[in-house]
Homo-oligomer: A and B are copies of this chain.
């Protein structure tokens, strides 16, 4: 079996339990302290990912290789509520994949950017717009940590003013006024390109759907996703008590083109 060893400078997810995981950088000579004792990185370096390691208090941790979900969760701040479940649906419904070219706004702390870039690398590209410069710094750090910075272009620009790119496969929006971006998205998208918008309030959804209807988008659909964890222990199996009741609504649409001779009397866009 080929294995993958932890090298100096690599990121490691120290797993103690579902609720206690730590995303750390293995730096020579340093130690990492937890409430369950400390771990010396020198003991980690050279070990295989997936190994288990004991803290000085004898508590066992698993040294996991961070994967997309971990980078997403560790990138999330309070201002960012696009949870992995929503990101998963956004990716699926946007139709993107390897080689896709995507415009995204706003970047925020880069959680969604990380996911989009993960799926389009190495030949695709994500152009990510953000007006708040301090967020871009955090996003840059998070994307570097996930090893994805080369496949994304972070842009300190206001997307409600316009989109620089053209012929893109998808425009993905997670910002306060998505309806203002719809005409620019139409211009930037290739025919049949997809627009996906994530919004917490119903009012944002209604305005965005109206803008999509006015801009020759079809297949317009809005959903919300409720994720519920299960406690699965024989004899005590039950859904978990705590649950997030709402993150936001996801709206999808596809661009169509209309030749000059046509009108649109019959097409049911939603």
Contacts and interface: CB of A to CB of B under 8 A. Distances in A.
Nearest to A203: B235
Given A50-B256, A242-B245, A246-B240, A91 B88 contact: yes
A79 interface: no
A117 to B, nearest CB: 10
Contacts of A232: 202, 205-206, 209, 222, 251, 270
Nearest to A71: B95
B221 A234 contact: no
Contacts of A161: none
A237 interface: yes
A191 B3 contact: yes
Among A60, A225, A232, which residue has the most Cβ atoms of chain B within 10 A?
Answer: A232
A214 B222 CA distance: 32
A266 interface: yes
User: What copy number does this chain have within its complex?
Assistant: 4
Given A15-B218, A192-B64, A202-B202, A256 B84 contact: no
Interface stretch (A22-30, A118-126, A130-138): A118-126
Interface string A233-263: 1111111111111110101001111110010
A89 B62 CA distance: 24
B225 A230 contact: no
Contact of A67 (B48, B122, B194, B247): B194
18 contacts: A3-B191, A15-B254, A18-B270, A49-B191, A49-B192, A50-B190, A50-B254, A52-B262, A60-B264, A62-B219, A62-B267, A84-B92, A84-B93, A87-B92, A91-B92, A119-B119, A202-B230, A205-B237
Given A67-B192, A88-B91, A226-B228, 8 more contacts: A64-B254, A202-B238, A203-B235, A205-B237, A222-B232, A239-B245, A240-B246, A243-B246
